[in-house]
Amino acid sequence: MSWGLSNRLNRVLPGLASGTGSVMFAIDHGYFMGPTTGLEDPKKTIVPLLPHGDSLMLTRGILKSCIPKECKLPIVLRVSSGNSILNDDMSNEKLCVSTEDAIRLNASAVAFSIYVGAEYEHQTLVEFSKLINEAHRYGIPVLAVTAVGKNMDRDLRYLSLASRIAAELGADMIKTYYCEDFSRLVNVCHVPVVIAGGKKIPEADALQLAHNAISDGAAGVDMGRNIFQAESPSDMIQAVRSVVVEGVSPEDAYKNYKSSLR
């Protein structure tokens, strides 16, 4: 790994060096979901939360139009797209942002979705591999966003299949979903694994999920809806951070969260 790539990776996931988890704040949902609840006005709702994240995952459109130029967070730029929630099969994505533009936007990493077991599996895996060739030429780490076919359970079998394939193809970090026996998935990937939060669930459950993932070896969370759709997004990102980075128990983090609402 070149010094530049390693340095960028450690800025995106600072917990790798300190031995804690890291908080990647994900707000890229609009690239296929449009005006997602909680992200309608990112300047108003998201910018105040930035000081509490370690890195920010988003599209170039929202980066350019809503994120202040003084932003200190390392940027994880989504570079795959080509689909919308209106399609039954969501896997028809390709590489849509050049590495040149990622560099121009000062991205610290790029993120690409692979769809294992889906209709466009082959296309996404080949495009992903080509992205790695290109991004690594410039020392830019690549985050594999793993998705599995729509008829597949998000369980250890399929999620570890998708995650290990991503690692074999050269991913520098992997985003997947938490599942039973998650530590077995982490153990077969050999690169840092972060978990997505998934659909909004009660805050106490989201904090428990974050705790379970870190306890099972995740390098952090790549969490979006469970932060920006929480009753108080600002208090929620701080609660998630307390669990993931400071090792606060999910029960105490939830108590703190509830008391900060009053």
Per CB under 6 A, residues contacting ligand 5RP are 26, 28-29, 57, 145, 196-198, 222-226
**Toward ligand 5RP, which CB reaches closer, 7 or 123?**
123
Q: Nearest approach, Cβ of 181 to ligand 5RP (angstroms)?
A: 20
Contacts of 130 (CB under 8 A, 6+ apart): 95
Phi and psi torsions of 86, nearest 5°: -75, -15
CA dist 16 to 142, 216, 220, 230, Å?
16, 15, 9, 27
**Toward ligand 5RP, which CB reaches closer, 4 or 61?**
61
CA dist 234 to 95, 155, 211, 223, 261, Å?
33, 31, 19, 13, 10
**Toward ligand 5RP, which CB reaches closer, 39 or 70?**
39
Q: Nearest approach, Cβ of 86 to ligand 5RP (angstroms)?
A: 15
**Toward ligand 5RP, which CB reaches closer, 144 or 186?**
144
Q: Nearest approach, Cβ of 2 to ligand 5RP (angstroms)?
A: 26
Q: Nearest approach, Cβ of 73 to ligand 5RP (angstroms)?
A: 15
Phi and psi torsions of 24, nearest 5°: -95, 125
Contact present, 92 and 119 (Cβ < 8 Å): yes
Contact present, 220 and 244 (Cβ < 8 Å): yes
CA–CA dist 208, 156 (Å, integer): 19
Residues recognised as catalytic: 175
Contacts of 20 (CB under 8 A, 6+ apart): 244, 245, 246, 247
